[in-house]
Protein backbone atom coordinates (compact mmCIF):
# COMPACT_ATOMS: atom_id res chain seq x y z
CA UNK A 1 0.00 0.00 0.00
CA UNK A 2 1.24 3.48 -0.93
CA UNK A 3 1.07 5.39 2.38
CA UNK A 4 2.02 8.68 0.77
CA UNK A 5 -0.64 11.36 0.38
CA UNK A 6 -0.18 12.98 -3.02
CA UNK A 7 -1.11 16.54 -3.83
CA UNK A 8 -2.70 15.33 -7.05
CA UNK A 9 -3.77 12.08 -8.68
CA UNK A 10 -4.29 12.13 -12.44
CA UNK A 11 -6.43 9.33 -13.82
CA UNK A 12 -5.81 8.84 -17.52
CA UNK A 13 -2.60 8.48 -19.50
CA UNK A 14 -3.51 10.33 -22.70
CA UNK A 15 -2.36 13.78 -23.89
CA UNK A 16 -4.59 15.61 -21.37
CA UNK A 17 -3.34 13.61 -18.40
CA UNK A 18 0.30 13.71 -19.47
CA UNK A 19 0.18 17.48 -19.97
CA UNK A 20 -1.47 17.87 -16.57
CA UNK A 21 1.40 15.86 -15.09
CA UNK A 22 4.01 18.08 -16.74
CA UNK A 23 2.36 21.29 -15.54
CA UNK A 24 1.75 19.93 -12.05
CA UNK A 25 5.44 19.01 -11.83
CA UNK A 26 6.44 22.51 -12.86
CA UNK A 27 4.25 23.78 -10.01
CA UNK A 28 6.22 21.40 -7.73
CA UNK A 29 3.14 19.37 -6.86
CA UNK A 30 3.71 15.79 -5.74
CA UNK A 31 1.53 13.89 -8.20
CA UNK A 32 0.84 10.45 -9.60
CA UNK A 33 -0.56 9.60 -13.03
CA UNK A 34 -2.39 6.30 -13.43
CA UNK A 35 -3.51 4.74 -16.70
CA UNK A 36 -3.70 1.45 -18.56
CA UNK A 37 -2.24 2.56 -21.88
CA UNK A 38 0.31 5.31 -22.47
CA UNK A 39 -1.11 7.77 -24.97
CA UNK A 40 -4.65 6.48 -24.91
CA UNK A 41 -6.59 6.63 -28.16
CA UNK A 42 -3.95 8.69 -29.96
CA UNK A 43 -1.80 5.55 -30.29
CA UNK A 44 -4.28 4.26 -32.92
CA UNK A 45 -3.61 7.23 -35.21
CA UNK A 46 -1.57 6.13 -38.21
CA UNK A 47 -0.11 9.57 -38.85
CA UNK A 48 -0.49 13.01 -37.27
CA UNK A 49 -0.03 16.03 -39.49
CA UNK A 50 -2.15 18.66 -37.74
CA UNK A 51 -0.03 19.27 -34.64
CA UNK A 52 1.95 22.55 -34.87
CA UNK A 53 5.70 22.03 -35.06
CA UNK A 54 5.60 18.24 -35.39
CA UNK A 55 5.00 16.89 -38.88
CA UNK A 56 4.30 13.36 -40.08
CA UNK A 57 4.51 11.53 -36.76
CA UNK A 58 2.67 8.36 -35.84
CA UNK A 59 0.44 8.31 -32.78
CA UNK A 60 2.82 5.90 -31.06
CA UNK A 61 5.89 8.06 -31.76
CA UNK A 62 4.05 11.16 -30.57
CA UNK A 63 3.14 9.35 -27.37
CA UNK A 64 6.78 8.40 -26.81
CA UNK A 65 7.78 12.06 -27.11
CA UNK A 66 5.29 13.40 -24.57
CA UNK A 67 5.87 10.52 -22.12
CA UNK A 68 9.64 11.15 -22.25
CA UNK A 69 8.93 14.81 -21.51
CA UNK A 70 6.89 13.82 -18.45
CA UNK A 71 9.58 11.40 -17.28
CA UNK A 72 11.99 14.32 -16.87
CA UNK A 73 10.08 15.38 -13.77
CA UNK A 74 10.63 13.38 -10.60
CA UNK A 75 7.65 15.12 -8.98
CA UNK A 76 5.24 12.97 -11.01
CA UNK A 77 5.12 9.23 -10.37
CA UNK A 78 4.02 7.17 -13.38
CA UNK A 79 1.91 4.09 -12.73
CA UNK A 80 0.73 1.88 -15.60
CA UNK A 81 -2.30 0.30 -13.98
CA UNK A 82 -6.08 0.32 -14.12
CA UNK A 83 -8.17 2.25 -11.61
CA UNK A 84 -11.02 0.05 -10.39
CA UNK A 85 -12.43 2.13 -7.55
CA UNK A 86 -12.48 5.63 -6.18
CA UNK A 87 -14.03 7.25 -3.13
CA UNK A 88 -13.77 10.45 -1.12
CA UNK A 89 -13.67 10.82 2.66
CA UNK A 90 -13.08 14.13 4.44
CA UNK A 91 -11.74 15.85 1.31
CA UNK A 92 -9.26 13.05 0.64
CA UNK A 93 -9.53 10.79 -2.40
CA UNK A 94 -8.89 7.06 -2.14
CA UNK A 95 -8.01 5.28 -5.38
CA UNK A 96 -7.75 1.50 -5.73
CA UNK A 97 -6.06 -0.17 -8.70
CA UNK A 98 -6.21 -3.53 -10.39
CA UNK A 99 -2.72 -4.38 -9.13
CA UNK A 100 -3.96 -3.98 -5.56
CA UNK A 101 -2.51 -0.58 -4.73
CA UNK A 102 -4.40 2.00 -2.69
CA UNK A 103 -3.50 5.61 -3.39
CA UNK A 104 -4.47 8.74 -1.44
CA UNK A 105 -4.60 12.24 -2.88
CA UNK A 106 -5.74 15.74 -1.96
CA UNK A 107 -7.08 16.46 -5.44
CA UNK A 108 -8.05 14.67 -8.60
CA UNK A 109 -7.86 15.28 -12.36
CA UNK A 110 -10.01 12.97 -14.45
CA UNK A 111 -8.59 12.57 -17.97
CA UNK A 112 -9.82 9.13 -19.00
CA UNK A 113 -11.04 10.28 -22.41
CA UNK A 114 -13.39 8.38 -24.65
CA UNK A 115 -13.41 5.27 -26.73
CA UNK A 116 -14.69 5.26 -30.28
CA UNK A 117 -17.66 3.00 -30.66
CA UNK A 118 -16.60 0.04 -32.78
CA UNK A 119 -18.86 -1.43 -35.44
CA UNK A 120 -17.88 -5.07 -34.90
CA UNK A 121 -17.44 -5.64 -38.63
CA UNK A 122 -15.47 -8.59 -39.92
CA UNK A 123 -11.95 -7.31 -40.66
CA UNK A 124 -12.39 -4.10 -38.65
CA UNK A 125 -9.87 -4.85 -35.90
CA UNK A 126 -7.36 -6.38 -38.29
CA UNK A 127 -7.19 -3.19 -40.38
CA UNK A 128 -7.07 -0.58 -37.60
CA UNK A 129 -4.25 1.76 -38.64
CA UNK A 130 -4.18 0.07 -42.05
CA UNK A 131 -7.16 1.82 -43.56
CA UNK A 132 -9.68 1.61 -40.73
CA UNK A 133 -9.79 4.77 -38.63
CA UNK A 134 -12.04 6.39 -36.05
CA UNK A 135 -10.77 9.96 -36.45
CA UNK A 136 -11.53 11.83 -39.65
CA UNK A 137 -9.72 15.03 -38.69
CA UNK A 138 -6.64 13.04 -37.62
CA UNK A 139 -6.30 10.76 -40.64
CA UNK A 140 -8.38 12.26 -43.43
CA UNK A 141 -5.43 13.89 -45.19
CA UNK A 142 -3.90 10.44 -45.79
CA UNK A 143 -6.63 9.70 -48.32
CA UNK A 144 -6.14 12.56 -50.73
CA UNK A 145 -7.55 11.64 -54.15
CA UNK A 146 -8.58 8.19 -52.92
CA UNK A 147 -11.95 6.51 -52.48
CA UNK A 148 -13.20 6.20 -48.91
CA UNK A 149 -16.28 5.13 -47.00
CA UNK A 150 -17.81 6.70 -43.89
CA UNK A 151 -20.00 4.52 -41.69
CA UNK A 152 -22.70 6.26 -39.66
CA UNK A 153 -25.87 8.31 -39.94
CA UNK A 154 -25.43 10.97 -37.26
CA UNK A 155 -23.78 14.39 -36.99
CA UNK A 156 -20.21 13.10 -36.92
CA UNK A 157 -20.72 10.85 -39.95
CA UNK A 158 -22.33 13.53 -42.12
CA UNK A 159 -19.76 16.15 -41.12
CA UNK A 160 -16.96 13.65 -41.75
CA UNK A 161 -18.32 12.96 -45.23
CA UNK A 162 -18.30 16.69 -45.99
CA UNK A 163 -14.78 17.07 -44.61
CA UNK A 164 -13.49 14.16 -46.67
CA UNK A 165 -15.18 15.39 -49.84
CA UNK A 166 -12.57 18.18 -49.97
CA UNK A 167 -9.77 15.60 -49.80
CA UNK A 168 -10.85 12.29 -51.29
CA UNK A 169 -11.75 11.40 -54.86
CA UNK A 170 -15.03 9.79 -53.79
CA UNK A 171 -16.88 9.39 -50.48
CA UNK A 172 -19.43 6.67 -49.81
CA UNK A 173 -21.63 7.41 -46.79
CA UNK A 174 -23.04 4.13 -45.50
CA UNK A 175 -26.12 4.54 -43.29
CA UNK A 176 -27.77 1.57 -41.63
CA UNK A 177 -31.01 3.51 -41.31
CA UNK A 178 -33.37 4.66 -44.06
CA UNK A 179 -32.78 8.34 -43.19
CA UNK A 180 -30.18 10.51 -41.42
CA UNK A 181 -30.03 10.50 -37.61
CA UNK A 182 -28.72 14.05 -37.56
CA UNK A 183 -31.27 16.84 -37.32
CA UNK A 184 -28.96 19.38 -38.94
CA UNK A 185 -30.89 20.06 -42.15
CA UNK A 186 -28.15 22.33 -43.48
CA UNK A 187 -25.53 19.57 -43.24
CA UNK A 188 -27.90 16.99 -44.74
CA UNK A 189 -28.62 19.31 -47.67
CA UNK A 190 -24.90 19.92 -48.30
CA UNK A 191 -24.14 16.19 -48.24
CA UNK A 192 -27.02 15.29 -50.54
CA UNK A 193 -26.00 17.95 -53.07
CA UNK A 194 -22.29 17.15 -52.99
CA UNK A 195 -21.33 15.39 -56.26
CA UNK A 196 -18.43 13.59 -54.58
CA UNK A 197 -20.61 11.97 -51.90
CA UNK A 198 -22.85 8.97 -52.50
CA UNK A 199 -25.23 8.08 -49.68
CA UNK A 200 -26.12 4.41 -49.29
CA UNK A 201 -29.17 4.19 -47.02
CA UNK A 202 -30.34 0.92 -45.44
CA UNK A 203 -26.89 -0.47 -46.04
CA UNK A 204 -24.44 -2.20 -43.73
CA UNK A 205 -20.79 -3.10 -44.12
CA UNK A 206 -20.48 -6.85 -43.63
CA UNK A 207 -16.75 -7.17 -44.22
CA UNK A 208 -13.61 -5.12 -44.77
CA UNK A 209 -11.09 -6.82 -47.04
CA UNK A 210 -7.57 -6.32 -48.33
CA UNK A 211 -4.06 -7.73 -48.30
CA UNK A 212 -1.81 -5.51 -46.18
CA UNK A 213 -4.11 -2.47 -46.35
CA UNK A 214 -7.85 -1.92 -46.85
CA UNK A 215 -8.85 -2.51 -50.46
CA UNK A 216 -12.63 -2.92 -50.43
CA UNK A 217 -15.80 -3.41 -48.41
CA UNK A 218 -18.61 -5.89 -48.88
CA UNK A 219 -22.14 -4.71 -48.01
CA UNK A 220 -25.18 -6.61 -46.80
CA UNK A 221 -26.46 -6.27 -50.37
CA UNK A 222 -23.40 -8.24 -51.50
CA UNK A 223 -21.97 -5.22 -53.30
CA UNK A 224 -18.18 -4.90 -53.44
CA UNK A 225 -16.98 -1.31 -53.22
CA UNK A 226 -13.30 -0.51 -53.72
CA UNK A 227 -12.02 1.92 -51.09
CA UNK A 228 -8.70 2.73 -49.43
CA UNK A 229 -10.12 4.00 -46.16
CA UNK A 230 -12.98 3.15 -43.81
CA UNK A 231 -13.97 5.91 -41.38
CA UNK A 232 -16.17 4.60 -38.57
CA UNK A 233 -18.20 7.45 -37.10
CA UNK A 234 -20.90 5.86 -34.95
CA UNK A 235 -20.30 7.69 -31.70
CA UNK A 236 -18.07 8.04 -28.66
CA UNK A 237 -18.20 6.21 -25.35
CA UNK A 238 -17.03 8.48 -22.50
CA UNK A 239 -15.03 6.54 -19.92
CA UNK A 240 -16.89 8.00 -16.96
CA UNK A 241 -18.73 5.13 -15.22
CA UNK A 242 -16.04 4.91 -12.55
CA UNK A 243 -16.76 8.44 -11.34
CA UNK A 244 -20.54 8.31 -10.97
CA UNK A 245 -20.28 7.99 -7.17
CA UNK A 246 -18.32 11.24 -6.79
CA UNK A 247 -21.50 13.32 -7.10
CA UNK A 248 -20.19 15.41 -9.98
CA UNK A 249 -22.41 16.68 -12.78
CA UNK A 250 -22.58 14.89 -16.13
CA UNK A 251 -24.06 15.72 -19.51
CA UNK A 252 -24.71 12.66 -21.68
CA UNK A 253 -22.11 10.86 -19.54
CA UNK A 254 -19.48 13.54 -20.25
CA UNK A 255 -18.18 15.42 -17.20
CA UNK A 256 -19.37 19.01 -17.01
CA UNK A 257 -16.58 21.52 -16.43
CA UNK A 258 -16.21 25.28 -16.44
CA UNK A 259 -13.46 27.25 -18.16
CA UNK A 260 -11.08 26.40 -15.32
CA UNK A 261 -11.68 22.64 -15.78
CA UNK A 262 -13.43 22.57 -12.42
CA UNK A 263 -16.24 20.06 -11.92
CA UNK A 264 -19.22 20.62 -9.63
CA UNK A 265 -17.25 19.05 -6.74
CA UNK A 266 -14.40 20.80 -4.97
CA UNK A 267 -11.06 19.13 -5.49
CA UNK A 268 -12.18 17.27 -8.61
CA UNK A 269 -11.08 18.58 -12.00
CA UNK A 270 -11.39 17.07 -15.47
CA UNK A 271 -9.64 17.55 -18.81
CA UNK A 272 -9.74 16.34 -22.38
CA UNK A 273 -12.31 14.34 -24.28
CA UNK A 274 -14.05 13.04 -21.14
CA UNK A 275 -15.42 16.54 -20.56
CA UNK A 276 -18.04 18.75 -22.15
CA UNK A 277 -15.00 20.85 -23.02
CA UNK A 278 -14.45 24.40 -24.19
CA UNK A 279 -15.76 23.60 -27.66
CA UNK A 280 -16.91 20.68 -29.80
CA UNK A 281 -13.41 20.05 -31.17
CA UNK A 282 -11.85 16.95 -29.67
CA UNK A 283 -8.21 16.92 -30.71
CA UNK A 284 -4.84 16.29 -29.08
CA UNK A 285 -4.08 19.99 -28.94
CA UNK A 286 -7.35 20.89 -27.19
CA UNK A 287 -6.94 17.99 -24.75
CA UNK A 288 -3.44 19.19 -23.89
CA UNK A 289 -4.70 22.73 -23.38
CA UNK A 290 -7.25 21.44 -20.88
CA UNK A 291 -4.54 19.40 -19.17
CA UNK A 292 -2.52 22.56 -18.63
CA UNK A 293 -5.54 24.52 -17.40
CA UNK A 294 -6.63 21.76 -15.01
CA UNK A 295 -3.18 21.48 -13.39
CA UNK A 296 -3.05 25.26 -12.99
CA UNK A 297 -6.47 25.19 -11.33
CA UNK A 298 -5.34 22.39 -9.00
CA UNK A 299 -2.32 24.45 -7.97
CA UNK A 300 -4.57 27.39 -7.09
CA UNK A 301 -7.04 25.14 -5.29
CA UNK A 302 -4.37 23.52 -3.09
CA UNK A 303 -3.07 26.93 -2.04
CA UNK A 304 -6.50 27.70 -0.55
CA UNK A 305 -6.63 24.53 1.57
Q: Tally the C-alpha atoms within 13 A of residue 287's C-alpha that lie toward its C-beta.
A: 25
DSSP string, 129-184: TTTEES-HHHHGGGGTTSEEEEE-SSHHHHHHHHHHHTTSSEEEEE-SSSS-S---
Are the C-beta atoms of residues 111 and 291 closer than 8 Å to each other? yes
- Residue in 7, 76, 138, 261 annotated catalytic: 138
DSSP code, position 72: T
Q: Report the C-alpha gap between 23 and 223 in whole angstroms.
A: 52
139 labelled catalytic = yes
CA angle, 159 then 164 then 167, to 5°: 150
135 labelled catalytic = yes
Are the C-beta atoms of residues 76 and 105 closer than 8 Å to each other? no
- Residue in 64, 76, 90, 135 annotated catalytic: 135
**171-204: string of b/e by CB count within 10 Å (b at 16+)?**
bbbbbbeeebbbeeeebeebbeebeebebbeebe
Instruction: Report the chain's terminal Cα–Cα distance, integer Å.
Output: 25
**Strand, coil or helix: what is 215?**
strand
- Residue in 139, 175, 261, 273 annotated catalytic: 139
Q: Report the C-alpha gap between 112 and 88 in whole angstroms.
A: 18
**Strand, coil or helix: what is 193?**
helix
175 labelled catalytic = no
Are the C-beta atoms of residues 82 and 36 closer than 8 Å to each other? yes
Contacts of 166 (CB under 8 A, 6+ apart): none
- Dihedral, CA atoms, 59, 151, 279, 247, nearest 10 degrees? -90
User: Which residues are part of the catalytic machinery?
Assistant: 135, 138-139
Amino acid sequence: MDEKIYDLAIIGFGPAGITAGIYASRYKLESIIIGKVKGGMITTSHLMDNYPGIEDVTGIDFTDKIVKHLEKYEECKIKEDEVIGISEIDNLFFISTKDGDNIKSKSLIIATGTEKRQANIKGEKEFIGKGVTYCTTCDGFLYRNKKVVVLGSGDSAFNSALYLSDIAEKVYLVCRKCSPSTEDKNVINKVEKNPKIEILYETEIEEIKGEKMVEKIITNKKEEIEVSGVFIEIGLIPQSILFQNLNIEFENNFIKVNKYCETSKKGVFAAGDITTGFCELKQVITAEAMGAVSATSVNKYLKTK
